[in-house]
Structure 1
């Protein structure tokens, strides 16, 4: 691990533009980890389980927690100075809170153990919100989920940097310009 490695998480409700910005950062040759839940959902759908989170929320969340922890540890193994994550470990318990699902204390313990350096928040944005086979939440649900996400990160002591609405390049540049101020 680089001593000065910056682990940076993009958070926000579904459909707020996080993955689009991650993809743009990849084009700019930044090291990025993709959202784990899409992979978990796709694997479940291949097995005939349409919405694993809705049918077995604890199992789904345990798989997410494991995947996000693995990403964090893999970031430590890289020589990259800056690593971006499409969602972080605290997202898991934030979603469990949103769905009023009980979960073991391990979820919070992992959130406390694996700390990120910067958190960039993407607010709900109706004009860009779309659903697909993995993202089924309505805009209204996305807005409520967003509140649970920001609460989870705030309760863990994170300072949240809000990314303004704008074009893909404007949002990406906002993040990159903020890095030079924060690092």
Structure 2
């Protein structure tokens, strides 16, 4: 685990991608969400490890991808922000199979003790080819994550509903020594 690794999670459609794009523009390192990468690959290949087809297979792949992302991130300098990541994948696996997230994660934290969660923001929520679930499903997922992160030893910091620049300032300010 590295304190340089920061999880950005929360409600689908809550503005995480915009925040991460702003952090990238400011020179921060970003690791793209495993789920979206898997969905793109599965759709292109006609595969079935999709959350709306085989949630367990999708979640297992997400865990694998997130673990590989963590290993690769060791070589990156400075702050490394993860769009979702291993915690979200382990929670998805627990939801799909009943396998406890803590068991999947093992001992210790994988990210900085502070995890940033985007709260529900219905005014900006949109569906797309990779996000087929509706806002109600996003709320259920958010509630699960809001409980899971603290249960797994993380301090949850809710992102403000603010401009993208203000959100980035907020995150970087919270991480400043």
Report the TM-score when normalising by structure 2. Answer: 0.89
Q: Report the secondary structure of 2:80's partner residue.
A: strand
- Bigger CA drift: 50-59 or 4-13? 50-59
Distance 2:88 2:164 in 1: 23
Q: Deviations over 1:24-67 (max 9, x none)?
A: 11111101111111111011111224772222222111111111
Distance 1:133 1:21 in 2: 21
CA distance 1:158–1:107, shift in 2 (3 Å): closer
Q: Report the secondary structure of 1:52's partner residue.
A: coil
Query: Which of 60, 83, 89 does residue 92 from structure 1 map onto?
Result: 89
1:110 corresponds to which residue?
105
Does residue 81 (structure 1) correspond to residue 47 (structure 2)? The answer is no
- Bigger CA drift: 86-95 or 126-135? 86-95
Structure 2: segments with no counterpart, 5+ residues? none
1:179 corresponds to which residue?
175
Q: Deviations over 1:86-134 (max 9, x none)?
A: 012110132244xx42154687332645521120110010011000000
Q: Aligned pairs, how many?
A: 176
1:152 corresponds to which residue?
148
Q: Report the secondary structure of 1:166's partner residue.
A: coil
Does residue 52 (structure 1) correspond to residue 47 (structure 2)? The answer is no
Question: Contact between 2:8 and 2:116, CA under 8 Å: does it hold in 1?
Answer: yes
Question: Contact between 2:42 and 2:48, CA under 8 Å: does it hold in 1?
Answer: yes
* Shift, 1:5, TM fit: 4.9
Distance 2:118 2:62 in 1: 20
Question: Contact between 2:18 and 2:164, CA under 8 Å: does it hold in 1?
Answer: yes
* Shift, 1:74, TM fit: 1.2
Give the aligned CA root-mean-square deviation in angstroms.
Answer: 2.2
